[in-house]
């Protein structure tokens, strides 16, 4: 049987890039947005290592900003490389979605 977690691993990075493209935000904010859109199984333990990796790959840029609720937060933005990665993800996602829809007989 297919494990939903395995499927999510493949698309989570692209979803995070899309979130950051739409608004500069911090790790917990990303998690809250993902949960709002139905990604309820994602945890901070999944998000933060991914953000660190994307920053090391220069896909994300970060800046510490003051928080009204405590210590400074690390806000993320997409680098130029990140924008290209996002565009590539969206193109690949569209192609995959179209292929799956075609296999299922299109929109029923």
Query: Domain-by-domain residue ranges, the chain?
Result: 4-103
Distance CA 93, CA 7 (A): 13
Q: What is the pTM of this model?
A: 0.87
* CATH number of the 4-103 domain: 1.10.10.10
How many CB atoms sit inside 10 A of residue 76's CB? Answer: 26
Q: Residue 1 pLDDT more than 50?
A: no
Q: What is the pLDDT of residues 73-105, one digit of tens each?
A: 999 999 999 999 999 999 999 999 999 999 998
Q: Nearest to residue 18, comparing CAs of 91, 87, 81, 75?
A: 87
Three-state secondary structure call for residue 72? strand
Q: Answer whether 1's CB lies under 8 Å from 39's CB.
A: no
pLDDT of residue 2: 58
Report the range of poorest mean pLDDT among 47-51, 56-60, 66-70, 94-98: 66-70
Q: What is the pLDDT of residues 2-37, one digit of tens each?
A: 566 677 777 999 999 999 999 999 999 999 999 999
């Amino acid at each position: 049987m297919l494990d939903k977690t395995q499927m999510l691993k493949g698309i989570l990075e692209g979803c995070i890039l899309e979130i950051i493209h739409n608004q500069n935000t911090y790790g917990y904010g990303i998690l809250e947005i993902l949960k709002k859109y139905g990604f309820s199984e994602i945890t901070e333990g999944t998000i933060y290592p991914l953000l660190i990796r994307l920053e090391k790959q220069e896909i994300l840029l970060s800046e510490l900003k003051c928080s009204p609720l405590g210590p400074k937060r690390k806000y993320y933005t997409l680098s130029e490389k990140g924008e290209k990665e996002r565009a590539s993800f969206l193109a690949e996602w569209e192609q995959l979605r179209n292929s799956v829809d075609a296999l299922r007989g299109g929109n029923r």
